[in-house]
Amino acid sequence: GLAGGVRVNTGAQPIVDKSEQDIVNLRRTIYLTIMSSAVVDECAHKLCKLKLREGEEVEICTMLLECCSQERTYLEFYGMLGERFCRINRRYQILFDECFAKQYMMIHRLETNKLRNISKFFAHLLHSDALPWSLLDYIQLSEEETTSSSRIFIKILFQQLSEFLGLRTLRGRLNEPHMSASFRGIFPLDNPKNTRFAINFFTSIGLGALTDAMREHLKNAPKLMLAQKPPPPPPP
């Protein structure tokens, strides 16, 4: 809020930090522009006309997520607006990627409604290819690395992707060999406990079809472990 930009000077009038005040004013302008626009084109056009200084682009991303999270239900308007900015300038792709990481880290602090809206927002940016799918690299799907909040977030994200793309297309996207490094966290093969956890998770949300490779891996794991065992020492 505004108080953050006020430094109290003993005995004198409070001095407002100019740069902080500028940011507060900019956020207010962005907020009012978003809330008063009826259609995506009009809103994007108005926001693009703001004279942003270098480094201020992030305020558009932040306010977009803020407004989106506060709606009673998710509005497609926000996803389409986010997509528009990602296409206008690659800088916004980088900023939204960073926003995703930040939101995901703090997801346990959000009430379910905000969490749902934000998850649907990012699902839109992914299924429309406004953001690269390497974004999913931030998610580590295991019992230790998730909370009930982050599991709800992941559930909504993948159910939305499945709804938009269809299960077969989604499965194809997640099986692209050149992307496998980015999906190591959501399809863990590092140890059987995590693999089982991920299989159970996707199966419980109705997306068991995404777990075939993990099931195959589990089936072959004992053979692999035997193959990796050093041979017994020769008899004396």
**Does 132 or 2 have the greater pLDDT score?**
132
User: Domain limits at 26?
Assistant: 16-220
Please check whether residue 127 is in contact with residue 136, taking contact to mean a CB–CB distance below 8 angstroms. no
Q: Give residue-wise pLDDT tens across range 125-169.
A: 999 999 999 999 999 999 999 999 999 999 999 999 999 999 999
Where helices occur in 128-206 by DSSP H, the ranges are: 148-165, 167-174, 192-204
**In-domain check, residue 235:** no
On whether the CB atoms of residues 48 and 86 are closer than 8 A, the answer is no
Within a domain: residue 105?
A: yes
What pLDDT is stored for residue 1 in this prediction? 40
Evaluate whether residue 39 is within a structural domain.
yes
C-beta atoms surrounding 11 within 10 Å? 5
Residue 159 resides in a domain = yes
Q: Is residue 4 part of a domain?
A: no
Work out the percent of the chain whose per-residue pLDDT is above 90.
78
- The rounded mean pLDDT for the chain is 89
CATH number at residue 26: 1.25.40.180
- In angstroms and rounded to an integer, the radius of gyration of the C-alpha atoms of the chain is 23
Cα-based distances in Å from 154 to 2, 10, 18, 172: 34, 50, 40, 19
Stretch among 9-18, 66-75, 89-98 having the lowest mean pLDDT? 9-18
pTM value?
0.85
Half-sphere exposure for 153 (CA within 13 Å, toward CB): 29
Residue 135 CB partners (closer than 8 Å, separation 6+):
97, 100, 122, 126, 182
- Span 12-31, mean pLDDT? 78
Is pLDDT of 208 > 80? yes
Residue 11 lies in a domain: no
Alpha-carbon gap, residue 103 to 97, rounded angstroms: 10
Residue 220 has pLDDT above 90, yes or no: no
Residue 2 belongs to some domain of the structure: no
Model confidence at 231, pLDDT cuts 50, 70, 90, reads low
Q: Which residues contact 124 (CB under 8 A, 6 or more apart)?
A: 76, 78, 79, 80, 82, 83, 130, 160, 164
232, part of any domain:
no
What is the mean pLDDT of the segment spanning 69-88? 96
Q: Residue 22: what pLDDT?
A: 87
pLDDT at 7: 39
**pLDDT tens digits along 167-185:** 999 999 999 999 999 999 9
CA distances from 186 to 136, 176, 191, 194, 234 (A): 8, 14, 13, 10, 42
Structural domains counted in the chain: 1
pLDDT at 2 over 50: no
